[in-house]
Structures are given as C-alpha cells and as structure tokens.
Amino acid sequence: MRSSLTTVSIEIAARPSRRRRISVLGATGSIGESTLDLIGRNPDAYEVVALTGGCNTRRLAELAILHKARLAVIADERCHADLKVALAGTPIETAAGEAALIEAASRPADWVMAAIVGAAGLKPTLAAVRQGTATALATKECLVTAGHLFMQEVASSHTTLLPVDSEHSAALQVMADTKHDLIESVCLTASGGPFRTWSRAQMAEATPEQALNHPNWSMGPKVTIDSATLMNKGLELIEAHHLFGLPPAKLDVLIHPQSIVHCLVTLADGSVLAQLSCPDMRTPIAYSLAWPERMHAPTKRLDLAALGGLSFEAPDSVRFPALSLARAALAAGRSAGTVLNAANEVAVEAFLTKRIGFLAIADLVEATLEARADLAAVAPSTIDDVLAVDGESRAHAKTLLGRFASRGASG
Ligand code: NDP
C-alpha cells in the first residue's frame, strides 16, 4: 500500500502454490503469539522462516521448536547463550542483537508480521519492507516516528503494507476500491480504556496494575497503557494519516466502550460504512495474512442480540490530554511525531516501573515537546535523521523524569 487510497486496491502477485514463507518479528508478544496461533492451526500452508523476541528466551525457543522455524533471533545479546542452550540439538539457527534482527527480517519470505513494540521495531520492519516482503504492520510506532520516509520506502520497494491495528484493518476493508475524494471522514473507535469514566483525581492515583486491566483487549503492556491514556488513539490517527494519505481534518476518534465497531467511514453520499467483529486481534491478523482473500479465524462470533446495544461518545480531551498532544503533533508534522513517540515510550516505561504517576505520562510528553521544539521542527531526510531525533528526544525526556517523579498529577 502506498500513501494514497488510490493504491488501496493494490495488485498482488499470484499466491504461490508452495507453502507460504512467514517470519514474525516480535513473536513472543501478544500480536506475535496471536499470529502464530493462526499459523499453527494450518501448518501445511505455512513455513516459518524467522522468529524474533526481545529477551524472553524461553518462549522464543518454545515457539521456534513448535513452529519448526529455521532461525530464532533474540534482541538482547546477553540472552544469546541461553537461547543456544534452549535450542541445542535442533536444526534451528540462532542469533542475537540488532544486526541479527535486521538480517532475520531481510531473509526471503512471502509475508512478515512486524510486531516489535515501539520504535525499536523501525529498522527491522524497514528491512522487511526493503526486501519487498508483504508486511503486516502492527508496530504503529514505525509510522508515528518515520511516517513519510517509511511510506516512501514502501512505495519504492513496491511492498504490500497491510495494517494490523483493528481500526486500520477495518478502514482498509471498508474503503478498498473507494475513490479517495469520495471519502469524507474516517473515524477510529476507542474503547476508552479502564479509566473511561474516572475523574482526573482518581487517575492521579491510578496504579500500573489498574491501568493494565483493559476492559476488552488482551495486549502487551505498552499498548495497554497507551490505551488507558488514549495516546494509543492519537498514535493511530498519525498512523492512519500516513497509511491512507488522508489529511488530519478527515480523521476523527469516537469512544465506543464495547470495541465491536472498529472504524466508521463516511462517504460523499452520506453513507457510513463500518466493520464489526468481537475484540480479538486474530480477526485483523487473519485479514492481513489471507489478503486479498479471507481465511477462517477461530474467534468468537458477534451476537448483537445478546450484546443488546452499542454506544458511542466523544472523547474527553480534558481528562485525556494525550489525544490532543498527538493531534497537535500530527498537525505540526516534521519530527513532532518522533518526539511525541520517544517521550511517550520513556513515560510509559517510567509509569510501569512506578517512577511517575499515570497523569504524568502526558505531562512528560508535553514537557518534552515544549522543551525540544527544535527537534520537533527537524525535517528528516533520512531514517538516520529520524533515529537521531528519537535518541535525543528520549535522552531529554529522561532528564525530565525527576520533575514528574511521584507527583502523579499536574495539579
Ligand atoms: P508485546 O509487548 O506483547 O510484545 C512485543 C514484542 O516485541 C515481544 O516479542 C518482545 O520480546 C519484543 N521486543 C520488545 N523490545 C524489543 C526490542 N528492543 N527489540 C526487539 N524486540 C523487542 O507487544 P504487543 O504484541 O502488544 O504489541 C506489539 C506492537 O503491536 C506494538 O507496536 C503495539 O502498539 C501494536 N499493536 C498491538 C495490539 C495488541 O493487541 N497487542 C493491537 C494493535 C497494535 P519479549 O517478549 O522477549 O520482550
């Protein structure tokens, strides 16, 4: 997919009759496990090339054995010895470190799932894209931090890019074959997270355990915290802008606590098209895996009568300022998304390790954006420029942690 909807109905090469070669970056995570669950149900159809993990050596080795992977790569080099021991006596090759991740992503494959959490996924995902491997993109941070350059790489390598986020998958399903200028708006839905009805005072006291208790979705910790702050929906607006080539004014967010309707697209004739499914990431993953066809997914089927009703409400930007920060970064362009994302990654990590309070996540992001307007204004011309801004933003955000330590709320 390129940055325009005119290319949503992309031609795809004929499906090979041999088993499809699959790699999963971030195999040990929530998305990685869901992907491998689908693949494991039909082992005759797939051949697993490479699986990668961050530091969970035990699970990576189990998955590599279970799915007969050719290569298992662990990002943290200190874990390589354990991985080798765990895979001793198997034909599975092992490697560790960033260069090995990139090499794994570059191995010839027909489809790769990009599901490494955070900007750490940028270089490996780009490696897959540059190979021209059809890429299912879960790592939204790639587009938030390097949007234009990332999409240029997708276009120049003629790679098929398939969104995995349920909202963007829904948008693709709904908008495919619709002319770009007939789309009036795309509205991404958000569950509202565990604190949807909480006051700011209550959120100031929120613990990581409470924030990780998402009402509808079972996900990795970083995206779960992003869902609680609504930063996730902000990141998704930026993602949608780059994926679909839509201006910010055509992108909107609606709170939908049941997480059944994933996206609403308004067309020029007043029609509103939506995609509905139970909240289970195996549905959008299956869509990206089978695309342009469809496949069976073992998910719960929707029973609207049992559900009784679907509700919608506008997001509250006072209680959830992260959404406004992301919208401002989207409007500002250049490197604002890079700074926002880097500061958010630092803040989420600090919250999870109880160094700052819940409300301080957005405060820290805002303070970093204010303090480093110089970085946000950089117009990056290479991925190295993006990574330099990312690194400086992280370093700056860390210097601000003390200001927000144990404070929780900004008053
Ligand atoms: P998880 O935290 O569950 O998994 C992250 C994966 O990345 C793990 O395999 C982890 O390895 C690996 N990893 C962590 N740090 C590094 C690193 N520095 N280098 C290489 N690998 C690393 O995350 P999710 O699966 O929830 O999310 C992955 C991405 O998908 C995120 O960008 C998220 O926003 C997006 N997404 C997730 C959804 C979900 O339902 N989970 C929905 C939509 C999008 P290890 O296990 O060894 O730590």
pLDDT the model gives residue 17: 65
Query: Does the beta carbon of 170 sit less than 6 angstroms from any atom of ligand 1?
Result: no
Task: Using the mean position of ligand 1's atoms as its centre, give its distance from the Cα of residue 266 in Å.
Answer: 32
Burial class (CB in 10 A: 0-12, 13-18, 19+), 393: buried
- In this prediction, residue 8 carries a pLDDT of 43
CATH no. for 20-168: 3.40.50.720
- Indicate which residue's Cα is closest to atom 22 of ligand 1: 54
Ligand 1 atom nearest residue 217's Cα: 40
Query: Residue whose CA is closest, atom 45 of ligand 1?
Result: 54
Q: Is the CB of 217 under 6 A from ligand 1?
A: yes
Name 77's Cβ contacts closer than 8 Å, sequence gap at least 6: 96, 97
Q: 304 CA to middle of ligand 1, Å?
A: 31
What is the secondary structure of 179-241 as a DSSP string? -GGGEEEEEEEE---TTTT--HHHHHT--HHHHT--SS----HHHHHHHHHTHHHHHHHHHHH
Q: Which atom of ligand 1 is nearest to the CA of 124?
A: 20
* pLDDT (0 to 100) of residue 406: 67
Single-letter residue type at 229: T
Classify strands 134-137 and 46-53 as parallel, antiparallel or unpaired. unpaired
- Minimal-distance CA residue to ligand 1 atom 17: 54
Which amino acid residue places its CA nearest to atom 39 of ligand 1? 219
Q: Is the CB of 74 under 6 A from ligand 1?
A: no
Does residue 28's CB lie within 6 angstroms of at least one atom of ligand 1? yes
Q: Whose CA is nearest to atom 23 of ligand 1?
A: 220
Whose CA is closest to 62, among 40, 43, 46, 78?
Answer: 40
Strand partners, 58: none
pLDDT by residue, tens only, the chain of 411 residues = 443 433 344 444 445 568 999 999 999 999 999 999 999 999 999 999 999 999 999 999 999 999 999 999 999 999 999 999 999 999 999 999 999 999 999 999 999 999 999 999 999 999 999 999 999 999 999 999 999 999 999 999 999 999 999 999 999 999 988 999 999 999 999 999 999 999 999 999 999 999 999 999 899 999 999 999 999 999 999 999 999 999 999 999 999 999 999 999 999 999 999 999 999 999 999 999 999 999 999 999 999 999 999 999 999 999 999 999 999 999 999 999 999 999 999 999 999 999 999 999 999 999 999 999 999 999 999 999 999 999 999 999 999 999 999 644 443
178 CA → ligand 1 middle, Å: 32
Q: Is 200 exposed, middle or buried (0-12, 13-18, 19+ CB in 10 A)?
A: middle
- Does residue 48's CB lie within 6 angstroms of at least one atom of ligand 1? no
What is the helix (H) or strand (E) element at residue 260, kind and residue range?
A: none
The CATH number assigned to the domain with range 322-405 reads 1.10.1740.10
- Nearest protein CA to atom 7 of ligand 1, as residue: 116
User: CA 173 → CA 177, 308, 330, distances in Å?
Assistant: 9, 25, 24
How far apart are the CA of 114 and the centre of ligand 1, in A? 9
The residue ranges of every structural domain in the chain are 20-168, 322-405
- Ligand 1 pocket residue status of 116, Cβ below 6 Å: yes
Could you tell me if the CB of 117 is within 6 A of ligand 1?
Answer: yes
**Separation between Cα atoms, residue 117 and residue 54, nearest integer Å:** 9
Residue 161 contacts by C-beta under 8 Å, 6 or more apart in sequence? 1, 129, 135, 137, 154, 243
